[in-house]
Structure 1
Amino acid sequence: MKNLKYIFALGLGLFASSCKETLEVNPQDQIDAGNALTNITGVNSLLSTVYANLRGAGHYGANYKILPDIMADNIYPIPGLNSNRLIQESVNAPRAHFAPWGFYTGGINTANLVIDATGKVEGTDAQKNRILGQAYGLRALFYWDMVKVFGYSPMFPVGSNNLGVPIITTPTTTAAGVTFPKRNTVVEVYTQIEKDLLAAEAILDNSVTAPFYMSKVAVQAILSKVYLYWGKYPEAASYADKVIQARGNTFVSGADYTGMYYRDSNPEAVFEIAFQLVQSLGNTGLQSLYAQFPADYSKRQDQAAFDNNAEPKTGYGDFTPTPELLALYEPGDVRRGTITTARKSNTVVNYVRKHTPTQGNNFLQNVVVFRISEMYLIRAEANFRAGTSTGASPQADLDKIRLRAGLASVPVSIPAILKERRIELAFEGDRWFDLVRLGMDVPKTTALGSIAAINYNTDYRILAPLPIAELSVNPNLVNNAGY
């Protein structure tokens, strides 16, 4: 195993993936797995490569944060002023979808390696638990991000299709060890995710407060959302409440709302993906896709610079909020401040400024996966659906979000909560998943013309296709219908 690299699985049987479907990781994020598996320090270093795979453009570095808004009805390409990126995804063309099968390599299989090796090397229980807890939590996150796109909502199966993705919990280190498993059911995958997260929660703590590590509270945040998607509402409310009890003091004020997106680390982050300069995705990252920022970093919040067509700018600035989303903002809503005007090719456009330059670099920002505001919305929805008031009443939690935004209280209801989710979490990668988890059709913006909504029960494009390369080598895999 001396020459084993963490990327060893590429091209082997089940893990064969096209270039598009494989997460690319910068060389400095690659660890010699053969050496890493011999001692506790090396295993901990190998764990860093699991985190590294979260940064890829195919995961939270771009696609998992922008496609849910593009493929639904929150943003669309600026007509005549885009760089032709993600155009097919914006109109839901066949096979223009999430492509996360590469998570099996650098993500899941490396987590399996870490989990297996931790039990074989010397180290204290505290050291091993810290590593194991992170690996379990990360493996669960990878599986959840896969089952959400390859399988239907566990609450709303369509016909007899209940398939998710194969569950693999043992590491593959050689070609001889490659297996060809069939797809597990969606419920089986959710059960494995729950098992991993509960195992992680039991052995992690919150002694490390930096939000870019998998801590106990980060695991609890994932659990709250997994349970929400699973329809286990009492559990969702309970876990959201645990996060609020631990991190509720990070909920920012209305005056600080737009400013938090310019901080090097978002103060509301419960879990975020850390980026350093060498890991920047440049023009393929979220800042570039959402807006053109002034080339002069000191002007990143200077509205006059945005509105000045002659001001040198960086990035593509390809996407803009849909008229349907803009119409939802009530007068005085501070969240509307994350959308501002700018001039692109001397045309006035609306840019999203949630993904902004930080850390002194125009293409560098940590990516938030969970923030505390969402926990209040999860607790509100879960309590309302369950008829409970764990931690607070649904009305109080809805008010928490609206009053901070500068808006008046409205009677709590599921439509009211879902409206606040759409506005509060706009441009953060939730819209598509929020619709699909509830078995709802996915509407399309009129700005793209007369494009019919994607019917949850009958349109095959609700699910992503399995990679052709995988189907060709694994006879036990079945593709999703329609592909």
Structure 2
Amino acid sequence: MKKRKYIYSLALVAGLFLANGCASKLDVEPTQSIDEEVALSTSRDVEVTLIGAYDGLQDVDVYGGAFQLASELLGNSDELGFGGTFQNLLEMYNKEITTQNVTALATWRDSYATINRCNNVLSALDILEEDKRERVEGEARFIRGSVYFDLVRLYAKTWGDGDNNANPGVPLILTPTRVVTDANNVPRNSVAEVYAQVLEDLTAAKTLLPEENSIYANKYAASAQLSRVYLMQSNFALARDEANEVINSEMYPLEDNFASLFYTFLRNGGDNPDEYIFAMKVTAQDGVNDLNTFFGATIEDITGTAGRGDIRISPKHRSLYEAGDTRGSFFITTINTYTQKHIDNFGNVLQFRSAEMYLTRAEANFRLGTAVGATPVADINLIRTRAGLKPAAAVTLESILKERHLELAFEGHMLHDIKRNKKNVGTLPYNSPKLIMPIPQREIDVNKALVQNEGYQ
């Protein structure tokens, strides 16, 4: 039986740690700071810091929703409507982002806070009990590599848009920041350098992580992320091979029923479907799903649904589905139309599921003229028949990309699939500066070594 992959917050684990140790630590002098040699003095300290890195990863301004929301709103070409009042999201929806945008700031800030927690863990590996070192290093590298990947995709030119070695990416900070000085004001590394670090971290993570890792990231989560990275680079052979490895593990079988992939709290009691490779746990006590906050809505007939209902699904998107496609009916209409993927108030935040791996393998095999693992048409038909459609006799690149678009809709892929395929967003070309987030003005003001993205002042 496959073990579920959940993320729990630092608060619970740290609380248990403190409760276990309080009997011997009652006489503690009050202090506003703690020396790093004391803070990371035991194996347990390092492990709790790693849980803090996971907690940072699930932050709503990181993998708890912001990266996915930015991709969907910036990549939208009239398939979504926006009726909210938050200026930061409205700017992304309209592709008129300012350097003061609070999402741009919070995502940058909280991503680097998460990276710093990983750096603290990686700086203290020698303190760990020996049998835990590889796993802990793998988890920290998985988190750091994943965050850097999504930062460079959002705040820099896409891979292949000009010279990757010259285009500014994001600053690479690989050691702990404990006291901020002028030495911390570092410039942006190139896009190529950031991707190289991402691949180094994720490749190491895959080697270090076990196949099963209780509630945390395992080697297949690293493979799934590597598959995404290679696909963004148009390295189709390696994207295919990583996806194929996840599929061949047989740990994440496709669900028979598309609708069972969602409502993880309302229908699954908080458990992930078997198809989920990696997801963030949300409960009534901990965790927030910002995809639910903005895509979701309260539906009177379904207890436990919630959301602001800011992001609506337009007729243009719904018209893309063939007759009989169960995915095309996975919407709820009140006054407006909403996807059912994100209306569960405590639904887990999905990061990777195996349908994506089949779609990546199909696309990569088609582009390369290969059939590693399966033929492209066989992989696509697994997705189509699950959706209640007739198998296709043949596929084209266009039909594969359409299947990907419909299957993974509203899961955070929109902008990045457009960019890697060099398509337009409305009238904007894939490489428009309007489709890149600005470096937050606060960061520019503090760090004079940073250069702003084109199109922002």
Which TM class, normalised by the smaller chain length? 0.7 to 0.9
2:263 aligns to what?
262
How far does residue 369 in structure 1 lie from its aligned partner after superposition? 0.5
Q: Are 1:114 and 2:121 an aligned pair?
A: yes
Task: Please report the RMSD computed on the Cα atoms of aligned residues, expressed in angstroms.
Answer: 2.6
Q: Percent identical across equivalent pairs?
A: 31
Deviation at 1:482, TM superposition (A): 1.1
- How many angstroms apart in 1 are the aligned matches of 2:163 and 2:318? 32
Contact kept? 2:165, 2:193, Cα under 8 Å: no
| C-alpha displacement of 1:78 | 5.3
| 1:171 partnered with 2:172 | no
Question: Following TM superposition, by how much is the alpha carbon of 1:170 offset from its aligned partner in structure 2, in angstroms?
Answer: 1.2
- Output one character per residue of 1:23-47: Cα deviation in whole Å (capped at 9) or x when no partner: xx98668898945411111101111
Q: Distance in 1 between matches of 2:373 and 2:35?
A: 44
1:11-26 → structure 2 map (5 Å cutoff): none
Instruction: Point out the more displaced range, 398-407 or 171-180.
Output: 171-180
Q: Which residue of 2 aligns with 1:408?
A: 390
Residue of structure 2 equivalent to 1:123: 129
Q: Which moved more, 1:287-296 or 1:423-432?
A: 287-296
Cα–Cα, structure 1 residues 93 and 318, in superposed 2: closer, same or farther, change >3 Å?
same
Residue of structure 1 equivalent to 2:109 = 102
Residue number in structure 2 paired with 1:292: 297
8 A Cα contact 1:74 1:427, kept in partner? no
C-alpha distance in 1 between matches for 2:322 and 2:359: 18
> Cα 1:33–1:113, aligned 2, differ >3 Å: closer, same or farther?
farther
Query: For the Cα contact (< 8 Å) 2:170–2:190, is it kept in 1?
Result: yes
2:373 aligned partner: 391
SS at match of 2:285: helix
Question: Partner residue of 2:454?
Answer: 481
Gaps spanning 5+ residues in structure 1: where? 1-24, 301-312, 343-347, 358-362, 444-452
In structure 1, what is the Cα distance between the partners aligned to 2:78 and 2:42?
Answer: 48
* Alpha-carbon distance between aligned partners in 1 of 2:111 and 2:263, rounded to the nearest angstrom: 33
Q: Secondary structure of the equivalent of 2:193?
A: helix
Equivalent residue number for residue 317 of structure 2: 325
Q: Which amino acid aligns with 2:144?
A: R
Q: Secondary structure at the match of 1:262?
A: coil
Rounded Cα–Cα distance in structure 2 between residues aligned with 1:176 and 1:318: 41
Shift of 1:370: 0.5
> Which range moves more in the overlay, 331-340 or 139-148?
331-340
SS of the equivalent of 1:466 reads coil
The 1:355/1:235 distance shift into structure 2, 3 A limit, reads same
Q: Which amino acid is 2:282 matched to?
A: F
C-alpha contact 1:172 1:178 (8 A) present in aligned 2? no
1:48-127 correspondence to structure 2 within 5 Å: 48-71=51-74, 72-73=76-77, 75-77=79-81, 82-84=84-86, 86-95=89-98, 98-99=104-105, 100-119=107-126, 121-124=127-130, 126-127=131-132
- Aligned to 1:272, which of 272, 279, 282? 279
Instruction: Tell me by how many angstroms 1:193 deviates.
Output: 0.6
Q: Which is further off, 396-405 or 176-185?
A: 176-185
Which secondary structure state, in structure 1, belongs to the residue aligned with residue 337 of structure 2?
Answer: strand
* CA positional deviation for 1:68: 1.9
Deviations 1:94-124 (A, max 9, x none): 32574432145321111011001112x1412
1:467 corresponds to: 440
SS in 1 for 2:352: strand
Cα distance, 1:403 vs structure 2: 1.5
Q: 1:26 to 1:37 in 2, by over 3 A?
A: closer
> CA, structure 1 residues 455+78, in 2 after alignment: closer, same or farther (shift >3 Å)?
closer
2:377 is matched by which residue type in structure 1?
Q
What are the Cα deviations for residues 335-391 of structure 1, in whole angstroms up to 9, with x where unaligned? 12321222xxxxx3211111132xxxxx31210100010000011111112222211
Which residue pairs with 2:201 in the alignment?
A: 196
* C-alpha distance after superposition, 1:130-174 (max 9, x if no partner): 110000010000100100012222223379962211111111222
The AA in structure 2 aligned to 1:207 is E
Partner of 1:341: 333
Return the alpha-carbon distance in structure 1 between the equivalents of residues 402 and 66 of structure 2. Answer: 23
- Check the 8 A contact 2:145/2:201 in 1, yes or no: yes
Alignment partners' CA distance in 2, 1:181 and 1:128: 30
Is the alpha carbon distance of 1:159 and 1:262 closer, same or farther for their aligned partners in structure 2, counting shifts above 3 Å? closer
Quick one: distance in 2 between partners of 1:374 and 1:46? Answer: 31
Change (3 A) 1:74 1:390: farther
**Mapped partners of 1:27, 1:330: distance in 2:** 46
User: 8 Å contact 2:56–2:111 — kept in the other structure?
Assistant: no
Q: Secondary structure at the match of 1:316?
A: coil
My pick for the range that moved more, 224-233 or 53-62, is 53-62
Which residue does the alignment assign to 1:354?
341
In the superposition, the TM-score normalised over structure 1's length comes to: 0.80
Instruction: Quote how far apart the aligned CAs of 1:177 are.
Output: 7.9
| Structure 2 CA distance for partners of 1:84 and 1:150, relative to 1, 3 Å | closer
Q: Distance in 2 between matches of 1:247 and 1:60?
A: 26
Supply the distance in 2 between the matched residues of 1:270 and 1:412 (Cα, whole angstroms).
27
Contact 2:381-2:391 within 8 A present in 1 as well: yes
SS state of the match for residue 102, structure 1? helix
Q: Which residue of 1 aligns with 2:430?
A: 456
Q: Distance in 1 between matches of 2:166 and 2:316?
A: 32
Distance 1:33 1:239 in 2: 42
User: Counterparts of 2:35 and 2:254 in 1: how far apart (Å)?
Assistant: 40
- Corresponding position of 2:346: 364
Task: Call closer, same or farther: CA 1:432–1:266 in 2, change over 3 Å.
Answer: same
Q: 1:476 to 1:83 in 2, by over 3 A?
A: closer
Partner of 2:409: 426
Runs of 4+ in structure 1 deviating by more than 6 angstroms, as ranges, are: 25-33
**1:163 and 1:262, CA in 2 relative to 1: closer, same or farther beyond 3 A?**
same
Closer/same/farther in 2, CA of residues 477 and 299 from structure 1, 3 Å limit? closer
Question: What amino acid sits opposite 1:204 in the alignment?
Answer: L
Give the alignment's TM-score, normalised by structure 2. 0.84
SS of 1:272 mapped into structure 2: strand
User: Does 2:218 match 1:215?
Assistant: yes
- 2-side partners of 1:26 and 1:340: how far apart? 35
- Residue 464 of structure 1: SS of its match in structure 2? coil
